Every structure is written in structure tokens, then in C-alpha cells.
Structure 1
Amino acid sequence: MTVLVVGASGHLGGEVSRRYVAAGESVVGTYHSGVRDVDGVDWQRLDLRDGAAVAELIGRVRPKVVISTAYVYGDWWVSADGAALVAVASARAGARLVHLSSDVVHGGRPEPYLDHEAPTPVGLYGASKAAAETAVRAIDPSAVLVRTSLIIGDESSKQVKLCLDMINRRVPGALFRDEIRCPLAVEDLAGAVVELAASDVAGTLNVSGPDAVSRPELAQLVADHYGLDASDMPIGTIAESGLHRAAEIRLDNARATALLSTRLRGVRELFARRLR
């Protein structure tokens, strides 16, 4: 089986690629920039803003599975239009499509969002991810759209690095106590993606961790893990910052938990295990 991982040079795309390579599958991975550090992948440079290039690559590779993970924060062409181009070419090739979306398609509220709830985005990035979902669902109703939250890995991963930078005062700004998310380990998310690719699950599915934590709470877990003093980390609120962004976004992952054999660990359990 040939698997195409769009955005394989990214954090999640790399982990998904490693799993397929380890399983003996033929993996084609796309990149535009970034480190191509996964062995056994047939690397192909791809600009998702180039519809002809997207169609040519997928038409030539003829993958059985396409995992669409690529995005660029603030770039509508890549995050929205690029996702639609991948969906069109994947449907033409008859490939099973797993599209990665985000919790930021929602506007925020104290109650958890269910899988089927319609997007209510705040800001450009959330709107681009919502537009991508709309396009993918229209183009390929059999595709599964994975709504996930903050992706946690080692110190090189975006979310952990941000915590470390804030704890060590290497970047300006503050961690917002009113910004709440449901983080998930990259290895758990990758396992869920691979499992979903082999299933017939369609439509939107929340795949997140069960723990809802604030940004400072997440940073404290990171600090404890690395033996750092986080008492001086900058803490504020979204309102104080003047930014326009969603605050509480909690995803109800009950359906994914029932469907998947991959266990979706909470961030507290994740860091407790890594500390032992």
C-alpha cells in the first residue's frame, strides 16, 4: 500500500510517516520547508498553492491513503485552498482521506463541543480551518476530519517549546489563564490517525486528550518535567492582551474513545509517565 502524507516534515506528519514506515508501507511524504528527518520516506517537494502540482503528484503516486496534515498559520491559501486541492485530487485517485482539522474552528465556551457541531471560528486561522472542513466534506463525504487540540511532544515541538520559552523569558507575551485546551500527545494522535485511515469512519471526529488545562497549567507540567522553576512565568488573560481569540475550547472525545483502540491519554498522565 502506498500512503501519501501531506506535510510529512511537520510534527504530526513525521510521526505518522514513521508509523507507516515501521509497518512496512510505502510512504511518500511532502514538504515545502522544514527538516526531512524520517528515514524510508520518498520525499517530494510540494507547494499546496499550486493546484496543478497537487494534482500531478497525487495522480502519479496513486496512493491508497492520503493523510492531510499541512497548514501554515495565517496562510489561507495553504490551510484552506490547499486542503481542498488535496481533497479533489485524492477523490479522483480513489484514496482514503484523513484530513487534520483543529479545535479553533470553534469560538469557545465552557461546555465541551461535540463531534458534529458546526464551526463558529474566531480569527483568520480558525476561519481557514473551518473553510477547509467545509470544502473537504463537500468534495469527499467519505473522508474523516479529525478535530484535535494542542499537540504535545518533546522540547522541539511547538507547544512544549512555547512553554519553555515563556518559563525562561525568551519570548515576549504571557500565558493566558483563560485559554483552555485539551492537549494530546503526538504519538497518541498519530496512532489514532493511522487507525482511522484503515476504517470507514466519515465526517468530523474529536480526537483530543481528556484533560482540559489552561496555558499556565500546561507550562507548569512542562516545568515539572524539566525540573524548572516556573514561579516567574508571565501570566495574563486574553482580555488584558487585547487579542481577539477563542478562550475555552473543550472537545468531547467520547466517540473517538469508543471507536479507537488507541488510548488518548490526558496530559497529566502523559507527563507523569514521562517523569518516572
Structure 2
Amino acid sequence: MSAPLRVLISGQHGQVSLELQKHLKGLGEVIVCAREQLDLAQPEQIRQQVRALRPDLIINAAAHTAVDQAESEPQLAFTINATAPQVFAEEALALGVPLIHYSTDYVFDGRKTAPYTEADTPNPLGVYGASKLAGEHAIAAVGGAHLILRTSWVYSTHGRNFLLTMQRLLQEKPHLRVVADQIGAPTWAGTIARSTRALIERWQSGHAGAWGTYHLSAQGETSWFGFAQAIAEQLQARHLPCASLEAIPSSEYPTPATRPLNSRLDCSRLLQQWNVSQPDWRDALRECLAEQA
């Protein structure tokens, strides 16, 4: 039986943080720091908190995730997504404890035709992706035991995300136009939290794989249009009002930040190194919606 862990989670109300709070129960003392106690825009505050709390494991579940907004506030995005992770890594190294940090498919430009592996060269298209990549580089440069987990298209029953927006719009509007040429895997925050727990348990039991960067997203693939269709099917099954859907190209839905057309991530390295597998995106969506109901 492993000794109880003292786990520090940054971010209190984020999608992944809320699921971590549920899924890490029983591991030990889980300390969740809201922005008031741990503001990622204040690097010195991070140092003070980590040194005061002396955790056995740090999970950075907070980030600047407003992709379009990041284009107009790059300095803030880089402070939160690059400088803060570097400070976490430095403090984790000083304590001799691991750091788990979440990154994104947006580090890639989406021009590859096959799923991206960890060996592929990143080339972000916007400020958000560039700031997240800078955070990855900063953690790797510090060294120490760390897991950088790149995920994609995160949704849950909390906060602002595609699932909740689409559920609302499908019931409010008669007709919706949704982008169909961006391909990826919608990933439930519950899946990310469950996989994170599995990784922690492997480490605790002495069965850790290599530290470093891994891809962690749901299996299978779809477009935003396909994801919207799956959400619509669930509403129709409950006999709720539902808009008709029209597939459109990205060119007909301009946004301040350019999105990668291919967000597919190959997660086989995580399975090989850590024996942690991911569910198909449809199965995870069904489980998420069952919890919501």
C-alpha cells in the first residue's frame, strides 16, 4: 500500500481540475489552489505557495485557454502558459517531486495528414499554441521528473466548451452551421483525469514509464460537425428540440486565431510506456452525458 500523497493542483474551476478533484479522491491530501491563492500570472506567488505547501506531486491544471483572446494579449498568455510552468518545474525539481502538466494539439500546424506523434516537430499557428509550446520547452529545460500530456478538444459538463455551447444552441436555434474540415478527437475531461490517476498509481507502485512528453486524447476521430451531430443525436434521443446542421469549411467561419485542420494525436507511446489506454471518443461522450443526466 502506497503512502498517502500530498497533491497540489493549480486551478480550481477549470474543466480538468474539477474532474481531477473527483478522480483523485483516496490518493491522499488533494490541495486545490484557486486563483486567489495561486495566480499563474504572478510567478513569485507560485514559488511561495509551493514552498509553503511542500507537496509530493504538483499538477498544473490551470492555463490561459482562450485561444482567440490570446491573440490580443500575448504577454499574459506567455506568462501563464510558459513562465508559470517553468516556475512549477523549478520548484518541483527543488523538492524532488514530479510535475504533471497539460498541453495541447495546438502546438502543431495541422498540415500533417496522419495523427501526430511526440517525435513530430511542433509549429504552432497562433499565440495560444506558441505559449503552450514555450511552456513545454521551459519544463523540459528545467528537467526533473515530469509528464507533459498533450490533449485535444477538451469538453466536460462544466465551464465553457463545445459540448455545452452546442447543447444550448441546438435547442435555441432552428439551423446551425458547423465547421467540418477540422479533424480531431473530442476528449472528455473525465478521461484526462482518470488517465492522470492511472499514471500517478503507476509511478507510486514503481511501474512508471519514461518521464517526458506524451499524447493523451480520446481514440477515433471526427470533425467539429461530426461532434455536433453526435450531440444532436443525444438530444433527439431524449425528444428535445434540435436544430438542423449544415457542414461548412473553416474559411466560412473566420476567427482571430487560426485552428489546425488536423488535431489527431497518436497516443500509442503512452500505452507502450505507461500501459495507460484511452477510450473511443463516442464511448467517453456517452459516459459524460450519462453523468450529466
Q: TM-score band, normalised by the shorter chain? A: 0.7 to 0.9
CA contact (8 A) 1:9 1:31 kept: yes
**Counterpart in the other structure of 1:249:** 263
> In 2, distance between residues paired with 1:95 and 1:89?
9
Q: 2:93·2:143 contact (CA, 8 Å) conserved in 1?
A: yes
Partner of 2:39: 47
Query: Aligned partners of 1:25 and 1:115: how far apart in 2?
Result: 32
Measure the CA separation in 2 of the matches of 1:45 and 1:12: 18
- Describe the SS at the equivalent of 1:45: coil
**Distance in 2, Cα, partners of 1:2 & 1:57:** 14
The answer to whether structure 1 residue 19 and structure 2 residue 31 are counterparts is no
Scaled by the length of structure 2, the TM-score of the pair is: 0.81
Deviation at 1:142, TM superposition (A): 2.8
Give the aligned length: 263
Query: TM-score when scaled to structure 1?
Result: 0.85
Q: Which residue of 1 aligns with 2:31?
A: 28
Q: CA deviation at 1:251?
A: 0.5
1:211-230: CA deviations, max 9, x gaps?
A: 11100100111111222565
Aligned to 1:181: 184
1:111-156 CA-to-partner distances (Å, cap 9, x unmatched) read: 1111232311011111111111010111125311101112232375
Quote the Cα distance in structure 1 between the aligned partners of 2:289 and 2:156: 14
**Alignment match, 1:218:** 227
CA change 1:24–1:144 in 2 (3 A) is closer
Q: Which residue of 101, 106, 109 corresponds with 2:108? A: 106
CA distance in 2, matches of 1:16, 1:92: 25
* Structure 1 unmatched runs, 5+: 33-43
Matched ranges for 1:132-147 at <5 A: 132-147=135-150
Question: Which residue of structure 2 aligns with residue 4 of structure 1?
Answer: 8
CA distance in 1, matches of 2:41, 2:286: 42
Runs of 4+ in 1 over 6 A off after TM superposition: none
Q: Does the residue aligned with 2:244 lie in a helix, a strand or coil?
A: coil
Contact kept? 2:191, 2:284, Cα under 8 Å: no
Residue 162 of structure 1: aligned partner: 165
Hey, what does 1:120 align to over in structure 2? Answer: 123
CA contact (8 A) 1:142 1:200 kept: no
Q: Is the 8 A contact 1:68 1:99 kept in 2?
A: yes
Which of 224, 229, 232 is residue 244 of structure 2 equivalent to? 232
AA aligned to 2:195 is A
Equivalents in 1 of 2:93, 2:156: separation in Å?
32
Identity %: 23
Encode CA deviations 1:21-68: one digit per residue, 9 max, x unaligned. x21411111112xxxxxxxxxxx6211121221101001111111111
SS in 1 for 2:23: helix
Structure 1 letter corresponding to 2:16? L
Question: RMSD over aligned Cα, in angstroms?
Answer: 2.5
